[in-house]
Chain A
Amino acid sequence: SQTIHQWPATLVQPVGSPLSLECTVEGTSNPNLYWYRQAAGRGLQLLFYSVGIGQISSEVPQNLSASRPQDRQFILSSKKLLLSDSGFYLCAWSVGGGGSEKLFFGSGTQLSVL
């Protein structure tokens, strides 16, 4: 069966520090991978998605970047965190591409930038 691992569960970082959140998927090949953020009052906002290694689509211009160095690995990064980067970050995966896709989410990372 497929599983998704996301870590760390919580993170407290000072403003201006770098960030690296990692997500890996097991039990499936060539998944579509996603990073979402849940910020207060904003619902689930799509940040990045990837349909293959090295292929990244950015939905919202911001202080973050994403990379997909391996088929089942998705990394969210920042060189210098801002206060506004605080939020609950969720990695998700799906398979298909022909529509009618369900997303399966990881357990999330609560990031607090102080």
Chain B
Amino acid sequence: DQQVKQNSPSLSVQEGRISILNCDYTNSMFDYFLWYKKYPAEGPTFLISISSIKDKNEDGRFTVFLNKSAKHLSLHIVPSQPGDSAVYFCAASWGNTPLVFGKGTRLSVIA
């Protein structure tokens, strides 16, 4: 039973364009959502988060949007850069429960 789903295993975007990574969840109890970025053979690093009381959070080139009614969140990267090429994981939690991660989306930014 996958509570956090990233249905696109991969995404290719041209440098300078917008990258949009999507994530869906099934557990309506989730109230905190995060995005992590992972390079090969390294641990994931925290990118940006959003609480369920908000519908948007922005940090530089990265913006996360949350649509609670659709149980959907997305990460926008504008403009995309070659260094953004990595696997992006969506994660969610509620209360004191551990983070639940999606399977990840591999983003390739082409110069």
Residues in A lying within 8 Å of B, measured CB to CB = 6, 9, 34, 36, 41-46, 49, 59, 88, 90, 92, 97-108, 110
Contacts and interface: CB of A to CB of B under 8 A. Distances in A.
25 contacts: A36-B101, A41-B103, A42-B103, A43-B89, A43-B104, A44-B44, A44-B89, A44-B91, A44-B101, A44-B104, A46-B99, A46-B100, A46-B101, A49-B98, A88-B41, A90-B43, A97-B96, A99-B93, A102-B34, A102-B49, A103-B91, A105-B43, A107-B42, A107-B43, A108-B41
B104 to A, nearest CB: 5
Determine chain B's interface SS by DSSP, over half rule: loop
A103 B99 contact: yes
A42 B99 CA distance: 15
Interface residues of B, number: 25
Contacts, number: 60
B43 A100 contact: no
B94 A99 contact: yes
B83 interface: no
A102 B46 contact: yes
Contact of B42 (A102, A103, A108): A108
A46 B98 contact: yes
Given A99-B32, A99-B95, A103-B99, A108 B104 contact: no
Given A43-B103, A43-B104, A105-B43, A99 B98 contact: no
